[in-house]
Amino acid sequence: MTSTLRKRLAVAIGVAMLFTAGATSGVARSAGASPAEQLRRDTAAIHALGVSGVQARVIGPDGRQSVATSGTADLGTGRPVPADGYFRMASTSKTLVATVVLQLEAEGRLSLDDTVDHWLPGVVRGHGNDGRRITVRQLLQHTSGIHDDLPGYTTPEEYYEQRHDLYSAEQLIARAMAHAPDFRPGKGWAYSNTGYVLLDLIVQKATGRPAHQEIEDRILRPLGLHGTRWMGVSPGLPEPHARAYQLFGPDARVDVTDQIPVGHENLSWVTTTRDENVLLRALLGGRLLPARQLAEMRQTVAVSADVQQLWPGGRYGLGLVERPLTCGGTYWSHEGGDGGYITLNGVTDDGRRSAVVSMSEARGDTPHHILEQENAASALIDHALCAGARRT
């Protein structure tokens, strides 16, 4: 949920109660359909909403993969959506950052109870903000109270004006420090991208290397995630990829592929549906963290009432979201949305079955369209994971 998605959701939250809150509302499971056929139907249903391109991938307990695509990768040429296309990872990269932080804790190089001021003296100050009272755990879990004020666009004009803007981490933090905290540390929950900018700096302080290098060496290379790349300040994506679109209004569908996400290089990751599946399976399967740190990651708190309208029953751990399944139990995920790409994902509690759906259009013009797209994608994840639950 980077800045563009955050602003989309802010519009939706104000009137969310007007619509059905259930994550699978309006998208029914097809009786008798095989998991692969259900995936094709769910992918087509998202495209039918008006989303230009959709790609989805499910990996079962036996390692077999089902892939489905729908729509077009380019509204100008009509070329098909690539089944292995790159897309911007956006806030799913928070799971990468949280995993590295917990690895460092396991190595005794930092503590979740360390204060921000311990690592970044004087950085969180002003207007009631106090880094001496905020812990690393609270940054990871969005309970720090730090107000979020990352840049983002809500109109075509803003997109064209801001798409190549660059901000340092210090500038992004300064934007947040210009506001009073949303609440006292540990006394509420509010999504804060700024908290993860601070975590990037803490990782760099603890290791002496940029966070993206630690992610590459600790997670990407060991898992063979060759399709997950840090793009730095590049405004483009590797090939192949579907072009990204943002719907600002009935006559304002804009190609927003060309941009520097959130204007900050540490947030600039691209990935594939294959890599996101492998990442989530490895994480929940215990391949990236010792048991104690994985248990810490899965200790959740309630999200704010407004976000409950978008993640019904959802709770937030340390860089992971826990959501209920309609077939019983829960799954783990972290969606991401920025620059026209909206991605939902999920993995069962045991890490054996996973699903990822990436959409190359953000229909952000009305609250109804935002919730409709979110619910249809959530339904795809639920159907895919519940199919596995019935068979295993």
- d(C-alpha 216, C-alpha 320), whole Å: 19
Asked if 387 and 31 count as a contact pair (C-beta separation under 8 A), the reply is no
- d(C-alpha 315, C-alpha 319), whole Å: 11
Q: For 109-136, what is each residue's pLDDT tens digit? A: 999 999 999 999 999 999 999 999 999 9
Lowest pLDDT segment from 15-24, 34-43, 290-299: 15-24
Q: For 240-268, what is each residue's pLDDT tens digit? A: 999 999 999 999 999 999 999 875 666 78
Residues 322-349: what's their mean pLDDT?
A: 96
Average pLDDT value over all residues in the chain? 91
Residues 70-79: what's their mean pLDDT?
A: 98
Quick one: pLDDT band at residue 385, thresholds 50, 70, 90? very high
Total domains present in the chain: 1
Going from the C-alpha of 160 to that of each of 149, 255, 385, the distances in angstroms are 20, 10, 39
Helix (H, G, I), strand (E, B) or coil at 138: helix
Helix (H, G, I), strand (E, B) or coil at 86: strand
Residues 172-192: what's their mean pLDDT?
A: 97
CB atoms within 10 A of CB 11: 16
Q: Exposed, middle or buried, 324 (CB in 10 Å: 0-12/13-18/19+)?
A: middle
Per-residue confidence (pLDDT) for residue 5, from 0 to 100 = 43
Helix (H, G, I), strand (E, B) or coil at 143: coil
pLDDT above 80: residue 23: no
Structure tokens at 119: 């690592």
Q: Exposed, middle or buried, 312 (CB in 10 Å: 0-12/13-18/19+)?
A: middle
- d(C-alpha 362, C-alpha 345), whole Å: 16
Asked if 152 and 120 count as a contact pair (C-beta separation under 8 A), the reply is no
pLDDT above 50: residue 18: no
Residue % of the chain over a pLDDT of 90: 85
**DSSP character at residue 115:** B
Going from the C-alpha of 380 to that of each of 67, 82, 88, 126, 178, the distances in angstroms are 12, 19, 20, 44, 40
- d(C-alpha 381, C-alpha 357), whole Å: 8
Residue % of the chain over a pLDDT of 70: 90
Asked if 166 and 264 count as a contact pair (C-beta separation under 8 A), the reply is yes
Structure tokens at 333: 């995920």
pLDDT above 80: residue 13: no
Domain range for residue 98? Answer: 3-391
pTM of the predicted protein model:
0.94
Compute, in degrees rounded to 10, the torsion defined by CA atoms 2, 4, 6, 9: -140
- Say which CATH number the domain at 378 has: 3.40.710.10
Torsion sign over Cα 158, 306, 180, 192 = negative
**DSSP character at residue 15:** T
| C-alpha count within 13 angstroms, C-beta hemisphere, residue 138 | 22
| Helix pair 3-13, 367-391: axis angle to 10 deg | 100
Asked if 143 and 186 count as a contact pair (C-beta separation under 8 A), the reply is yes
Helix (H, G, I), strand (E, B) or coil at 308: helix
SS3 content of the chain, % helix, strand, coil (to 5): 40, 20, 45
pLDDT above 60: residue 56: yes
- d(C-alpha 200, C-alpha 278), whole Å: 23
